[in-house]
Amino acid sequence: MRIILLAIVYIAGTNLAFAQTQNTISADEGEIIITPIIHSSAQVEYAGKVIHIDPWSAVNLSMAKPADLILITDDPSHHLDPEAISQLRKPGAPVVLTETAYAKFNDGIVLSNGESGTFADIRIEAVGAYDMTPGAPYHPKGEANGYVINLGGKRLFFSGVGECVPEIQALQNIDVAVMPMNLPVDRMRPTPVAECLKTFKPEIVYLNHYDRIYAGWLSNPQGNPPPDTQDTPATIQAFQDAIAGEGIEFRDAGWYPQR
């Protein structure tokens, strides 16, 4: 399997941009291209179709491609952004979201945890995303989704924000997993993410949602980004160390600009 992944971010109001090594996933009818945009936002392309996950207008989306399908994992503004949806959505393109997100944006299709459906000729499976550890901000069961995207004989899993719940551990035949790390109240730190991946053994894993400090600044950028007090590079290295020897390939896509 050859992976090409391109990450390009233009920060709103600046000329700042960054790009990572291009990679693709070989599939039945060509290549799948995954483009990390920011935090949990990504673009997926295959066979002329474009899927956006959690598009967020905190960055300049002018280089993003129009969407045939949009998947929304949760209802906070960095997941559910009507402005970004409006900018990227092709006429009539389905927007798939949870019931909680639908309450804020009702021009979409609700897909609850455990349900599946075909949208824009793409098979989508909704996987529960929730917390088992108490403490604010708490993500209760049923309010958020991860999604399995079936493309060209490959299965790509974009996890929602939450812990390693039984629904994730039960996943099968996942080729690529995109997992959140460094969540609030010490949820999904590097070792728990690694242990989670060992339960369903994807071939390749990417990390996203791992720099909440930077994402918080993006919501209201004033001055320079704040210091990286969690030492994000060290947490990524700790994750790599924790999956060493497990046969899971880690691809460091860089969902955020270099500080």
Residues 145-187: pLDDT tens digits?
999 999 999 999 999 999 999 999 999 999 999 999 999 888 9
C-alpha–C-alpha distance, residues 19 and 2, integer Å: 19
pTM metric for this prediction: 0.92
Cα distance between residue 197 and residue 157, in whole Å: 11
Let me know: does 24 contact 1? Beta carbons within 8 Å.
no
Nearest to 158 by CA among 37, 259, 61, 31: 37
| Domain residue spans of the chain | 66-250
- Each residue of 77-86: pLDDT tens digit? 999 999 999 9
- Render pLDDT for 126-143 as a digit per residue (tens, 0 to 9): 999 999 887 777 788 999
Sequential DSSP letters for 103-153 = TT--SSEE--TT-EEEETTEEEEEEE---SS-SSSP--TTS-EEEEEEETT
The string of pLDDT tens digits covering residues 9-21 is 444 444 334 344 4
CATH topology of domain 66-250: Metallo-beta-lactamase; Chain A (3.60.15)
Are the beta carbons of 162 and 131 closer than 8 angstroms?
yes
> What is the model's pLDDT at position 138?
78
Tens digits of residue pLDDT in 41-84: 999 999 999 999 999 999 999 989 999 999 999 999 999 999 99
Per-residue pLDDT averaged across 97-109, rounded? 96
